């Protein structure tokens, strides 16, 4: 090989050094591309089963928030997150103990009064969920529809921005952020009006002689297999609602 010049088809003078230099440059560029691709995390596509499991995770989240005593005093809620999972953007709600407190667990191990099933129950309904595979596992968003108390009214309460991770126990929240009120475009006047409706609903009194029935999620999971008639709320001698509780069959809905 020498520096003797060659004439290309287009009349451009090319030397062997120029050809070698171009080859080295091309090889280096290819190497850099391979290294960059190797450093990028692999994103595993979501299957239909993955998405269905993520939907169930959303629903279990709602049930766990609505009934602290029947949800292991807040721990069922916390266990829907990864070990280092958090609610919100701060560090106060990270980890199992902190998340259990978010679900209503108090320092003495009991539950806050507004976390019992009854007049102050806040119901969470999720609609329009979207899931997308991501380096963390998956990302998702879903609208939140709320009812403040059984006597309250439906209202839109913003959305969640979620990060999910695969774990040996299935999909779990790694991070959950609630975007609401003015950040979701809700006027302050609407928030004030909702607060008034909630206050009226929460003031309603439950019938103290009728116990609330079991947590239906425990029944689904096979953790409470008692016949419904033998659970406290249905075994009581006090009639409740149309058809009563003792021996009566409530109307179909």
Token representation of residue 210: 């009728």
Kindly report the CA angle at 18 between 13 and 24, in degrees rounded to 5?
155
**Cα separation of 202 and 44, whole Å?**
45
Helix residue ranges per DSSP H, the chain: 16-39, 48-66, 75-78, 96-102, 188-202, 216-220, 232-235
Model confidence over 50-91: pLDDT tens digits? 999 999 999 999 999 999 999 999 999 999 999 999 999 888
Write out the DSSP string of 142-155. Answer: EEEEEEESTTS-EE
Pairing of strands 170-179, 81-87: parallel
Residue whose C-alpha is closest to residue 163's, from 134, 130, 143: 134
- Confidence check: pLDDT of 243 > 80: no
Where is average pLDDT lowest: 158-172, 206-220, 222-236?
222-236
pLDDT digits over 117-143, tens only?
888 899 999 999 999 999 999 999 999
Q: Which tokens in the block code for residue 181?
A: 């009120």
Which of these, 99, 113, 124, 80, lies nearest to 202 by C-alpha position? 113
CB 134 within 8 A of CB 43: yes
- Backbone region of residue 74 per phi and psi (left: phi > 0; alpha: psi in -120 to 50; beta: other values): left
To the nearest whole percent, how much of the chain has pLDDT over 90? Answer: 58
pLDDT (tens digit per residue) in 139-160: 999 999 999 998 889 999 999 9
The average pLDDT across 213-242 equals: 75
Q: How confident is the model at residue 238 (pLDDT cuts 50, 70, 90)?
A: very low
Which residue is listed with tokens 């979501």? Answer: 46
Considering only CA atoms, which of 53, 44, 82 is closest in space to residue 175? 82
pLDDT of amino acid 228: 80
Structure tokens at 248: 């009566």
At residue 79, the 3 state secondary structure works out as coil
Mean pLDDT, the chain, whole residue set: 83
Buried/exposed code over 117-134 (b: 16+ C-beta within 10 A; e: otherwise): bbbbbbbbebeebebeeb
pLDDT band at 246 (very low <50, low <70, confident <90, very high): very low
| Domains in the chain: ranges and CATH | 48-202 (3.10.450.50)
């Amino acid at each position: 090989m020498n520096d003797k010049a060659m004439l290309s088809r287009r009349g451009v003078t090319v030397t062997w050094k120029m050809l070698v230099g171009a080859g080295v440059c091309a090889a280096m560029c290819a190497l850099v591309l391979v290294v960059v691709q190797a450093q990028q995390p692999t994103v595993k596509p979501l299957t239909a089963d993955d998405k269905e499991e993520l939907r169930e995770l959303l629903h279990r989240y709602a049930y766990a928030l609505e009934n602290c005593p029947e949800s292991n005093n807040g721990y069922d809620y916390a266990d829907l997150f990864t070990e280092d999972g958090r609610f919100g953007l701060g560090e106060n709600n990270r980890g199992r103990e902190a998340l259990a407190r978010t679900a209503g667990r108090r320092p003495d191990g009991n539950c806050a009064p507004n976390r019992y099933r009854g007049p102050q129950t806040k119901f969470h309904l999720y609609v329009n969920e979207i899931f997308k595979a991501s380096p963390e596992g998956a990302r998702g968003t879903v609208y939140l529809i709320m009812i403040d108390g059984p006597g309250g009214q439906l209202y839109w309460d913003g959305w969640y921005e979620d990060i999910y991770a695969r774990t040996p126990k299935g999909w779990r929240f790694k991070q959950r952020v609630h975007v609401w009120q003015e950040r979701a475009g809700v006027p302050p006047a609407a928030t004030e009006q909702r607060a008034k409706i909630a206050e009226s609903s929460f003031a309603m009194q439950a019938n103290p002689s009728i116990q609330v029935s079991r947590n239906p999620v425990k029944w689904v999971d096979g953790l409470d297999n008692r016949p419904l008639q033998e659970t406290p709320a249905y075994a009581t001698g006090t009639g409740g609602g149309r058809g009563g509780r003792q021996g009566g069959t409530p109307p179909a809905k």
